[in-house]
Amino acid sequence: MRKASAGRTSMQSDTYTTASVAEAVRKYDGVRRKKAIGSLVKTLHIENPDVVADYGEDAAVIRQGNTALLLAADGIWSQLMEKDQHWAGYCAILVNVHDIAAMGGRPLALVDVLSAGGDTIIEQVSAGMHEAAAAFNVPVVGGHLHPDAPYNVIDVSVLGTAELDNVIYSSRAKEGNAIIMAVDLNGRVHPSVPLNWDSVTMKDAPVLQKQLAVMKELGERRLLTAGKDISNPGVLGTLGMLLEASSMGGVVDLTSLPHPDFDAHSITFEQWVRMYPGMGFILTAEQENVDDVCRAFRMAGMASQVIGTVTGDRRLVITKGEDSTVLFDFSAGGITNI
């Protein structure tokens, strides 16, 4: 496998414009389908004094004295389940442990609900789940199985923990903060899913666990103001969700985004910004903490660099030299509408 690097230039990397990137991101189902969340939240939300944070964060934060219980759940997109059941099972674990890591926590255990129409699908999904759970050393301790369902669905929930004062929130980015992208570029386009960057299945467990633990370290050192794991909407969609939750905006220089060699992997820039990376985070930090944040990720084998700045105007603007486009205007309408 060819090794990727953050600074390498390729022919594909120069063909995009800010308008082409904005169109690709806005039209991407991974972004558009988030709009339904807002109305659901309005229906379900109940105030509780022990719930420190909930909707808009990667995990709910539940106060237990000086400890935070972190609770999250993810359902795997049906398109992924149809294409590769083993990878769907792996990702069901992967996305959940990332949600806890993004909050600065340590994942403790998982439970699942698996609905499947046959034994082969059950075997494929559970094999993928087992592989990921073993790699990240987070046990699956229970759940529920529908072995004769007329559909195939895997949903997983995770419990984690952190010191309450060390939790990293999505909603606390501040004007003037640096925006940092951290991602493992040493991977491949997944053979079954072109918009998935697989940087995990070829790595040893200690490497994956070291990468996952970086966020917990940064939370303990209080080096971040906000953070999210890069999820299905891709890096720009995920950043948009972070800025929306923080009631902030941002300016991102597209030329600064870490990326693999596009020619070697036969992908374009527009594809890269929509990809779900196997291991990736979008973060904000005070300017004086940038070097320490980037160093922590680089020591774990991940590319990490500043890609922009948080602004107070509630718009996410993407630039490439003199070319610029407003990607999201949160004053006119959000991604999740929470």
Percent of the chain scoring above 90 in pLDDT: 82
Percent above pLDDT 70 for the chain: 92
Whether residue 10 has pLDDT greater than 50: no
From the number of C-beta atoms within 10 Å of its C-beta (0-12, 13-18, 19+), residue 192 rates as middle
Neighbours of 14 (CB within 10 A): 11
pLDDT at 4: 44
Helices within the chain (DSSP H only): 18-27, 29-32, 37-44, 78-83, 85-102, 119-136, 205-212, 214-220, 234-246, 262-265, 269-272, 290-299
The pLDDT of residue 94:
97
CA-nearest of 173, 164, 189 to 312 is 173
Token pair in block for residue 275: 């990809």
Name the pLDDT band for 236 (thresholds 50, 70, 90): very high
User: What is residue 36's predicted lDDT score, i.e. its pLDDT?
Assistant: 61
Instruction: Dump pLDDT digits (tens) for 169-219.
Output: 999 999 999 999 999 999 999 999 999 999 999 999 999 999 999 999 999
Q: What is the pLDDT of residues 46-87, one digit of tens each?
A: 788 888 988 889 999 999 999 999 999 999 988 899 999 999
What average pLDDT does range 120-144 have in this prediction?
97
E strand segments, 97-204: 106-115, 140-146, 153-163, 178-183, 188-189, 196-198
pLDDT digits (tens, 9 = 90+) for 251-286: 999 999 999 999 999 999 999 999 999 999 999 999
For 54, the token pair is: 């909930």
* Domains of the chain, CATH where assigned: 12-34+169-329 (3.90.650.10), 58-165 (3.30.1330.10)
* Residues in Cβ contact with 251 at an 8 Å cutoff, skipping those fewer than 6 apart: 308, 309, 311, 316, 317, 318, 319
State the average pLDDT for the chain. Answer: 92
* Per-residue pLDDT at 46: 75
Please state the rounded mean pLDDT for residues 1-30: 70
Q: What is the pLDDT of residue 163?
A: 97
pLDDT at 9: 46
Structure tokens at 98: 């990332």
